Homo-oligomer: A and B are copies of this chain.
Amino acid sequence: MKTEVTVFCPATVSNVGPGFDLLGFALENPGDEIVVRRNDIGELRLINESGIDLPMDPSKNIASISAVSLLEELNITDGFDLIFTKKIKPGSGIGSSAASCVAAVVGINEILGSPFSTPQLLPFAMEGEVFASGSYHADNIAPALLGGFTLIRGYDPLDIKHLPFPDDLYCAIIHPDLEFKTKEGRELLPKNIPLKTALIQAGNLAGLVAGLTTNDHALIGRSITDVFAEPIRSKKLPEFEKLKKLTLEEGALGTGISGSGPSLFSLCRSEDIATSVAELMKRHFADHNIKSEYYISTVSQAGCRITG
């Protein structure tokens, strides 16, 4: 039996365009590393080697909440150290909490000899995510765990479909130095919406799924439109519509808010286009006196994995 494993877990884009709460995808960069190690103190111990502030009280740390839910399901009282080297910044909108939760359960499951299959780990990872965001949404957890594009067909019961997608999709992610709170973002959303708006969103999500599964890049592009959350959340991003238009002119297939923001994602057909788009977005934010940093990544076929 292993007593220590190193786990890599990718950042993820959720709420992809019209896929509010329903569609997410995995990146290759950035990603978190967590070392999971058996200890002999019979409890979870958290060690932060990230240089990023993280709550180190196990009752408030989302990775340990997920880990505890897994251990309780198996009636296991062994202790584990979770040693974090996080690169995905909390609050950036690219699945930082999901990566922590998923990495913890994947690592512990591996040390325990894989009592659960990878998809079976999803509900445990969700426990921490619910604590983090205050809502039961799986569109970061699922791609972080499984990789690729994941569609949440439904939540009752949780039904996830791993989608095929074109192999030439690159993503520009830009994280402007702005603070968006996920919980606040949700509270701003209307409880009721016009049926007509619901049909626009459903048509676009179905179009996006059809575009991904049939390699129809133009359809992917036309479908990346969110009429639920983006009109509200984008108000906090200076000249968002103008920026979006510029990214499309630069060659992006589509651009939207990642998760509940403030990061933006642009899906592109090459690394070069993604880089030009990221540079353009960086200049846009700089023009508004907002610092930002960007990542260029493929859409990753692989999700969270044991690397050592």
Question: Which residue numbers of A lie inside 8 Å of B, CB to CB?
Answer: 18-23, 151-155, 159, 161, 163-164, 189-195, 197-211, 213-214, 216, 219, 222-223, 228
Instruction: Kindly provide the distance from the CB of A265 to the nearest chain B CB, expressed in whole angstroms.
Output: 19
* 13 additional A-B residue pairs with CB within 8 Å, beyond A151-B206, A193-B195: A20-B199, A23-B206, A151-B210, A153-B206, A154-B200, A161-B211, A164-B214, A189-B195, A193-B193, A193-B198, A197-B198, A201-B202, A209-B209
Separation of A159 and B219 alpha carbons in the complex (Å):
9
B210 touches A163 (CB 8 A): yes
Find out whether the CB atom of B199 lies under 8 angstroms from the CB atom of A153. no
Q: Which residue of B lies closest to A207 (CB)?
A: B153
Provide 9 A-B residue pairs closer than 8 Å at the C-beta atoms, listed in order of the A residue. A21-B199, A22-B202, A153-B204, A153-B206, A154-B200, A193-B195, A193-B198, A206-B209, A213-B214
A interface SS class: mixed
Q: Find A203's partner among B152, B203, B204, B214 (CB 8 Å cutoff).
A: B152
The answer to whether A154 touches B192 (Cβ under 8 A) is: no
Q: Which 7 A-B pairs have the closest CB atoms?
A: A153-B207, A198-B198, A213-B213, A202-B202, A206-B209, A205-B206, A192-B192
For residue A21, which residues in chain B have a CB less than 8 angstroms away from its CB? Answer: 199
Kindly state the separation between the CA atoms of A199 and B139 in the bound complex, as whole angstroms.
13
**Residue pair A161, B210 in contact (C-beta under 8 Å):** yes
How distant is the Cα of A23 from the Cα of B205 in the complex, in angstroms?
A: 13
- Which residues of B lie under 8 Å from residue A189 when comparing CB positions? 195
Q: How far, in whole Å, are A118 and B23 apart by their CA atoms in the complex?
A: 34
Q: Choose among B22, B153, B200 the residue that contacts A219 (Cβ–Cβ < 8 A).
A: B153
Q: Which residue of B lies closest to A163 (CB)?
A: B210
A154 contact from B159, B207, B214, Cβ within 8 A: B207
